[in-house]
Structure 1
């Protein structure tokens, strides 16, 4: 049975992270030819190329990018272990990679990471992507957790995704402060609306609410991005439907006003992780603080 040669993997990791074969050879105190030979041996053992040449540059292939992710995790954990064994301490700086759904409220994300901002022993990165890319990043250990407003359900892999409900935010009708506190639907007949996209849970809930009141909103625009809805509500004078956390700054400043909270309608926010043997302490602390 073939076994992974971690010496070769370490050489690959140093070249990939430095992005320069010459500099990696200098730091490792080996010749460039010897270093190239070690990486070729690793590629042969994996039966796939890890680098592709573009002129004089070495560029990671898709497989190389995936191997780099695992190598980074292996050797960074090794450094943590060495620090723990030699000095009996955890690393001075812990790293956390957070993926966020690109359409989510930036205010909610900011509130979530506030505990990290206050810590000097943590460095974190944020990656805004679509759901498919987020789940792939989590599955391939490129991300430590993801934030989403859609629950992730395991299908045939019962222990893959671990989802934690972080918050339920009430959904409200929000807009300019010129409706004089009229009850819905009175006074709303001449108002225009910027609404969540038709394929969203919020839009479905609002459509159902309007149907009960036999009210037909005059739609100016639709968007599936909370940041865009926030801008449209602020700049068009139209009404919108969204969680109040999205526009908390505008509400505090008096630019926008909450006219009514929709009954029994909430936006859920989740933190999703995957089962792993080693969980960074900072991740455990962060989730427990929510």
Structure 2
């Protein structure tokens, strides 16, 4: 059976970058820490560290064990905080980062289940570029990040992507602009004003590919990193803009916007990115359990 005391000593040494530094931080003798790690390696039948010069570096197996140890002790810390908050009658904070390319209506749909938990939750939302949000996630300033793509492979951030929802994409325009479009969809897009999401939006590339396949050349009149700002320009009649079909009814409910048409083969997905392989925060678990099934419309 895994000895969690030994695992905790290993975790501290790995985080400190060596036995001597871990000894200074913990007040335990280096010999004690070495003995605890040796006992853990013996019980697991693996080598966790290898010597490099005068120091120690993690083996590949050691890195895997560290990943699990991080998750185990972080979960334990969150459990302790949650129990203390409950006993003190405090509201548990739920710190969410929302990538600025995620439509606000989608963010609300995904986060709504966290507001209906039996235990009160205070949701704290922060919107920013995905890269900056993932940096805050890595240092535990955020509990989860909502994005339109999984964790980028080229980012030096340890995390896990949990798919929550997917939707096809449709094009929308103000009623006044829609009335000026000539012909049926998609031919009506030729030379029509178009608003594009920024380079970081996952839907941008497939949308441009679809237009190329259809041999359509609309006039690109604006590009937006912020989906809400793009929608505001669209509502004002500046151009046609893409949005998830999932929120079509919500966008068009007042009659100020119209759905011009759905884009076959163009879709968008939404993810909860967390530092845990198994979600532990009750609010994150709630949004994962309520994740919408895949759909095209």
TM-score, normalization by structure 1: 0.63
Shift of 1:198: 5.2
Shift of 1:260: 1.2
Cα distance change of structure 1 residues 195 and 3 upon mapping to structure 2, 3 Å threshold: closer
> Residue 205 of structure 1 aligns to a residue in which SS?
helix
> Residue 236 of structure 2 aligns to a residue in which SS?
helix
Cα contact 2:105–2:247 (8 A) shared by 1: yes
Gaps of 5+ in 1: 6-72
Partner of 2:55: none
Cα contact 2:181–2:189 (8 A) shared by 1: no
Partner of 2:72: none
Matches within 5 A, 1:1-290: 1-4=23-26, 78=80, 80-81=82-83, 93-119=91-117, 121-154=120-153, 160-175=158-173, 176=175, 177-178=178-179, 182-189=183-190, 191-197=192-198, 200-245=201-246, 248-275=249-276, 279-290=280-291
Cα distance change of structure 1 residues 144 and 182 upon mapping to structure 2, 3 Å threshold: same
Partner of 2:20: none
Q: Which deviates more, 196-205 or 227-236?
A: 196-205
Cα contact 2:197–2:230 (8 A) shared by 1: yes
Q: State the alpha-carbon separation in 1 of the partners of residues 84 and 216 from structure 2.
A: 66
Q: State the alpha-carbon separation in 2 of the partners of residues 278 and 259 from structure 1.
A: 39
Cα contact 1:202–1:242 (8 A) shared by 2: no
Shift of 1:283: 2.6
Cα contact 2:82–2:92 (8 A) shared by 1: no
Shift of 1:140: 0.9
Gaps of 5+ in 2: 1-22, 28-74, 292-297
Shift of 1:213: 2.7
Q: Deviations over 1:166-188 (max 9, x none)?
A: 11121112113426894334344
Q: State the alpha-carbon separation in 2 of the partners of residues 76 and 188 from structure 1.
A: 51
Q: State the alpha-carbon separation in 1 of the partners of residues 85 and 216 from structure 2.
A: 65
> Residue 2 of structure 1 aligns to a residue in which SS?
helix
Q: State the alpha-carbon separation in 2 of the partners of residues 140 and 273 from structure 1.
A: 11
- Give me the CA root mean square deviation: 3.5
Q: Deviations over 1:108-162 (max 9, x none)?
A: 11112212333452122111122222111111111111101121145698x9311
Shift of 1:236: 2.1
Q: State the alpha-carbon separation in 1 of the partners of residues 138 and 271 from structure 2.
A: 17
